[in-house]
Amino acid sequence: MTIAGFWRLCLPALTCCASAFAQTSAQLGLPPGVLLLSRIKHNLQQTLDRLPAYACLESVDRLIRESPKKPIRALDAVRLEVVAIGEKELFAWPDDQSTFRDDIALPGFNSSGEFISTTRAVFARRSQAIIHYRGRETIGGIQAARYDFTISSNVLRWTLNIDGREALVDTSGTFWADAASADLLRLESWPSHIPPELGLSSLVSVIDYNRLLLSGQSYLFPLSAAVTMVRADGRESQNQIQFTHCREFKSESHLVSEDTVRAEAPPPRTVEFQVPPGLTFPVSLAAAVDLTQARVGDPIQGSLDADVKDKHDLVAPKGARLLGRVRLLQQGSGSIASYLIAGFEFTDLEFTDSSGFRHHAPFYAFFRDCTSLPGITRQLGKTTEHNWNIGETGWIDMGQTETVLPPVLPGVAVLFAGNGRRILPKGFQFDWESVRFPHKQ
């Protein structure tokens, strides 16, 4: 059972005048939301126009429910690398030396399009999405503008393939954007009409976005997504997707003549290398992180507290820089409502040797430990006390302890921060264990 998304775009998009952005629709006699929509498109088209080929680690938790009366349960977890080259999404198994391909055959419920194709379908310059303004709503505490859209299957090819039965469907959806910055926050989409012969009750894709700094440029990136399919008989499948370790993806080849070789051109000033797996990296924050002011995507920097060696070979010296970003910030709920959940990832390791050569490696490691600091914990323990009166013998006091674990994101350090501690100080240490990077270029 697979669901595949293929996007075909045509026709020029609406052009907009930047000088009009500061004016309101009412001042210009336009329907509500028109100028804000121009700003939203402008922001996304800047990203799509300037976007280099880039890759992320896509982690998919697949869940199923056999019937509406049964609880949803984990089926398995899939980890892939996904790269956007031009208008295509390509996939590869982690650590696979073969080329990226259009899809990877997996049993069960699969989907594609959440990484870039859906965004392009709605906002690319040649998109033919029909968009209507629906007013203001609050999304994650942010005042957001809501728009509904539809796209014909003649323009956007969304193919559903369910147990060998295939149909091409129109697409409907809703998106929300920050009313102040005009940055896209969330995009939901679903088939406008599902042919009854497919045996589906509903299919919904939800993508959440935020800004990330990559190669010194600010991009609106998908950070997470959820795709939920419910069959007509009530069986449900859900894919919860996280995008981490995003980076520029380069694949270059050069033709060098014999004359060039004889000219003995100077060696490159940057040496790319791979970090061996199984090594411990003690990394300290180079600057404090104020969690009350931080935003997902904000850059962070760390430094190695000691030399890291592979047996007797030096991999990275003390003081080497680790570059990364804030990956997760969300308020707890229920029994952990008084805590902020914060996640941090380091993606690049670099240092300069005594000869002036810059050494760089993608950094992919699992979080193992951190500085012991009041108010900062890796897990929460909640104890509930119960008292029972048993008559002449008195009272019995009993306690029940519940352990609350943070979300698991590969390569991300996720911590609980209490109300009394919302700043990670300079020098706060993370201990990481390197694992093999998902794909070697």
Pick the last residue of a domain from 248, 278, 306.
Answer: 248
298 shares a domain with 241:
no
What's the CA gap between 347 and 364, in Å, rounded? 6
**What is the arithmetic mean of pLDDT over 330-350?**
80
272 shares a domain with 212:
no
On the question of pLDDT at 203 being above 60, the answer is yes
126 shares a domain with 28:
yes
Q: Which CATH number goes with the domain that contains 135?
A: 2.50.20
**What is the arithmetic mean of pLDDT over 370-391?**
70
* Any domain includes 291: yes
* Any domain includes 382: yes
- pLDDT, tens digit, 9 for 90 and up, residues 6-20: 222 222 332 333 333
Q: Which CATH number goes with the domain that contains 388?
A: 2.40.128
- 3-state SS assignment for residue 227: strand
* Any domain includes 439: no
* Any domain includes 85: yes
* Any domain includes 256: no
Amino acid at site 284: S
| Both tokens assigned to 403 | 């352990």
- 3-state SS assignment for residue 24: coil
pLDDT value, residue 18: 36
* Any domain includes 340: yes
402, 335 in Cβ contact below 8 A?
yes
368 shares a domain with 226:
no
* Any domain includes 312: yes
- 3-state SS assignment for residue 218: strand
294 shares a domain with 427:
yes
* Any domain includes 130: yes
136 shares a domain with 86:
yes
- 3-state SS assignment for residue 118: helix
239 shares a domain with 358:
no
Q: In what order do the strands lie in the sheet with 2-5?
A: 2-5, 158-162, 165-169
- 130-139 vs 142-151, strand pairing mode: antiparallel
- pLDDT, tens digit, 9 for 90 and up, residues 63-103: 999 988 888 888 878 888 888 877 778 888 766 655 788 87
400 shares a domain with 337:
yes
332 shares a domain with 211:
no
374 shares a domain with 293:
yes
Query: What is the tally of structural domains in the chain?
Result: 2
Average pLDDT of the chain is 80
> What is the pTM assigned to this prediction?
0.72
**What is the arithmetic mean of pLDDT over 416-420?**
81
Domain extent at residue 427: 266-434
57 shares a domain with 85:
yes
292, 281 in Cβ contact below 8 A?
no
pLDDT value, residue 191: 92
On the question of pLDDT at 184 being above 50, the answer is yes
Determine phi and psi for 34, rounding to 5 degrees. Answer: -70, -50
